Chains A and B, each alone.
Chain A
């Protein structure tokens, strides 16, 4: 009994580390194709459109709502202390430091990551990768690398949009609805938000989330069992793993960036 369980644990462990190893090998292969991508920028722009531009709508709408909710909730708490004037600073700091990168990462995994996994998995299941191999085209460099780079570029931009729209939404509610003084709203924000500590860190966070989500999505697709069930499982795994990765990484990054 116990031996059986021990054995299963061992098998699980070995399988886990094998997958981890394959994921890193794939990453190296993908990165080695970056240089070749410079000569074919059209491959990259197509994916920037797919992953980035097509995600703009969901990101901006979500950003707007998150910003408005923040302003509503923040106002009630701050008003108790007579500190409504710092509403702008509160909304902006929450968005830029945490919610912008995190929610964008989660939404990106749901909208673009799952689509990436399904696309890559189906290409594998229908032998399109073997077809490419036989045309002497490296499927990793030709298909995966542009998607990885596009993910790396898109997510920080999307997260910035999310935060910016969120701040606007916050000002609609705070200034427009709750009657916070407009000058105070913006000037508090300006004096609190720091370029280095807030904006750069936000960009670093979202870059790392974009990297994690795209890598997970591409690996799950590339490594999936080439059947319809395999692709569907891989798609689920992409969303679950990406969400966990984003939240876990966010904790670690926040601890490093704002810990001391």
Chain B
């Protein structure tokens, strides 16, 4: 029983339940995120992928079920232990979540300044390297409101990487990227993962790009994990829902619509005063 910790998954989710009001978002899901791998979470819009990332980082708490990160049960972690753990995590928000009153450079420097006592020259070098990696070294003096959505997300990526985390959670890194920066991002995420033995969780709709870089893929729909496996296994999957999702078919078990009564009933119903 040597190296037990190393062979354990970095993130281990068991029996996770979560509801928003009366709506069940997760109905008992189990997920393992393996160390040093890129694990992708896919699923239709509104299934709760962003919610899952928030649960993993304990920005919100589950109704029931356990989430373990690197052997630590985060449900009951104290404030200071949680912050210690978050120092080892990087998260790329769907919206970027940059601080709007400081420049791009200062945004990337922010976590470094907060958590280390590095000298200014050292910080400058680090920040410029991170910005170079996402192709935005030239944009360092811009304010966040002067960036496009895609650029903001790349700056957020540089910031998430600033402290060299052990695990990075990417929420839709590819949306709003042109084909060139998309290709570079795909390579970058893979490179980062392999070069520094990072663990990556990637949430995305982009089937082609995700299959290109993911080691394992989970497909969630309707609060359940409907399929798990390598990209090849997923392509070979017999599940109708997975087939529909991967090939982008309009008809199938996965609905395009938010839960609602039948259209005819809704339209013919008397208008509420």
A-side residues, CB < 8 A to B, are 123, 126-128, 130-138, 142
Cβ contact within 8 Å between B100 and A128: yes
CB of B97 closer than 8 Å to a CB of A = yes
Interface residues on B, range: 20 to 34
Given contacts A134-B57, A134-B90, A136-B86, 13 further A-B contacts (CB under 8 A): A127-B95, A128-B100, A130-B97, A131-B93, A131-B156, A133-B86, A134-B59, A134-B93, A135-B111, A136-B111, A137-B111, A137-B114, A142-B114
Of all chain B residues, which has the CB nearest A143? B99
Question: Can you list 16 A-B contacts (CB < 8 A)?
Answer: A130-B59, A130-B93, A131-B97, A131-B98, A134-B57, A134-B86, A134-B89, A134-B91, A135-B114, A135-B163, A136-B84, A136-B86, A136-B111, A136-B115, A137-B114, A142-B114
Q: Bound state CA distance, A134 and B159, in angstroms? A: 11
Cβ contact within 8 Å between A133 and B59: yes
Q: Bound state CA distance, A135 and B59, in angstroms? A: 12
Cβ contact within 8 Å between B99 and A138: no
A126 CB to closest chain B CB, in angstroms? Answer: 7
Residues in B whose Cβ lies below 8 Å from that of A136: 83-84, 86-87, 111, 114-115
Which listed residue, B89, B99, B115, B163, touches A131 by the CB 8 Å rule?
B99
Q: Bound state CA distance, A126 and B149, in angstroms? A: 13
Residues in B whose Cβ lies below 8 Å from that of A142: 114
Cβ contact within 8 Å between A128 and B87: no
Residues in B whose Cβ lies below 8 Å from that of A137: 110-111, 114
A-B contacts counted at CB < 8 A amount to 51
List B79-135 residues whose CB lies under 8 Å from chain A: 83-84, 86-87, 89-91, 93, 95, 97-100, 110-111, 114-115
Residues in B whose Cβ lies below 8 Å from that of A130: 54, 59, 93, 97
A132 CB to closest chain B CB, in angstroms? Answer: 8
Residues in B whose Cβ lies below 8 Å from that of A123: 100
Q: Bound state CA distance, A136 and B159, in angstroms? A: 13
Contacts A133-B59, A136-B115 given; indicate if A126 touches B97 (C-beta within 8 A). yes
Cβ contact within 8 Å between B83 and A138: yes
Cβ contact within 8 Å between B84 and A126: no
A73 CB to closest chain B CB, in angstroms? Answer: 44
Q: Bound state CA distance, A126 and B83, in angstroms? A: 21
Q: Bound state CA distance, A134 and B56, in angstroms? A: 11
Residues in A whose Cβ lies below 8 Å from that of B87: 136
Residues in B whose Cβ lies below 8 Å from that of A134: 57, 59, 86, 89-91, 93, 97
Q: Bound state CA distance, A256 and B91, in angstroms? A: 53
B88 CB to closest chain A CB, in angstroms? Answer: 9
Q: Bound state CA distance, A137 and B99, in angstroms? A: 13
Which listed residue, B57, B93, B114, B163, touches A127 by the CB 8 Å rule?
B93
Residues in A whose Cβ lies below 8 Å from that of B111: 135-137
Cβ contact within 8 Å between A127 and B97: yes
A216 CB to closest chain B CB, in angstroms? Answer: 23
B21 CB to closest chain A CB, in angstroms? Answer: 15
Q: Bound state CA distance, A133 and B90, in angstroms? A: 11
6 closest Cβ pairs, A-B complex: A131-B97, A127-B97, A136-B86, A134-B91, A136-B83, A135-B111
Q: Bound state CA distance, A135 and B111, in angstroms? A: 6
Residues in B whose Cβ lies below 8 Å from that of A133: 57, 59, 86
A45 CB to closest chain B CB, in angstroms? Answer: 16
